[in-house]
Structure 1
């Protein structure tokens, strides 16, 4: 069985998460189920201070995998404007089966960053998250 690889998607940066030290992470927003399914597949490593945000309308159990992802990622699971859990330095998965990553508690969003970026920026579970929409 062969799987056709999805084309990489480059979504517009329409949100930002500004940290307490005033550095801001520019976020592509994966809003639709299709955008969320493709995520960062087939994309090279993100630059510093760039990420993808997966917002959900209500908290749910979320798990993400790394099938067809080219670069390791940090996955930050959010709930009620706080970081609940971080899956750091998640490795790529070139073929099935792939492990899934996610906390045991419901989340209402996920931010994916390049591997090591959460540590570099000092982001930890319990931190406040203030994501705002922006337009250029």
Structure 2
């Protein structure tokens, strides 16, 4: 009997711990594929990023909303069914972001740096974007990334849904 009492207490503690861990994880609409993306800067330096791939209408709509942090070298790539003028915003996004607007050839043509958290102001692509890459605010400046830099990697081969 004593063994069962100890077992029940341990099982209860483990369940509580699992709930605490799950509640503290970032909210994601679904398990997103993760891929390595590379940016070749105008200076020839290569920068690697591990990005979540948002290829469906639902994951593009949710993006990085409600995240409390975004580690250096991590981000999210939004993949669109066809190149278009994209309108982004920061509603329900808790952290500043750099947004890189990328054409179908993988060239960055516009960067919106340090987009303000929780701001509903529209951030336009200013051109036809096949992809939008979001990184932590300040990454563009820290890594000296600029329009004209080239993006490559397996994540650009994902097909958008809807």
- Which of the five TM-score ranges fits, normalised by the shorter chain? 0.7 to 0.9
Conservation of the 8 A alpha-carbon contact between 2:39 and 2:149 = no
- Deviation string, structure 1 residues 111-131 (Cα, Å, up to 9, x no partner): 000000121122110111112
- The ranges of structure 1 where at least 4 consecutive aligned residues each deviate by more than 6 angstroms after the TM superposition are none
Say if 1:124 and 1:24 are closer, same or farther in 2 by CA, change over 3 A.
same
Instruction: Give distance in 2, aligned partners of 1:52 and 1:108.
Output: 14
Aligned to 2:27: 8
| 2:130 equivalent to 1:111 | no
Number of equivalenced pairs: 124
Conservation of the 8 A alpha-carbon contact between 2:110 and 2:126 = no
Larger Rg over CA atoms: 2
Q: CA deviation at 1:22?
A: 4.0
Give me the CA root mean square deviation: 1.8
**Given the two structures, how large is their TM-score scaled by the length of structure 2?**
0.70
Conservation of the 8 A alpha-carbon contact between 2:65 and 2:92 = yes
Conservation of the 8 A alpha-carbon contact between 1:13 and 1:26 = no
Gaps of 5+ in 2: 1-25, 156-162
Aligned to 2:76: 52
**Given the two structures, how large is their TM-score scaled by the length of structure 1?**
0.83
Aligned to 1:4: none
- Deviation string, structure 1 residues 29-49 (Cα, Å, up to 9, x no partner): 011100111100100120000
Instruction: Give distance in 1, aligned partners of 2:35 and 2:88.
Output: 21
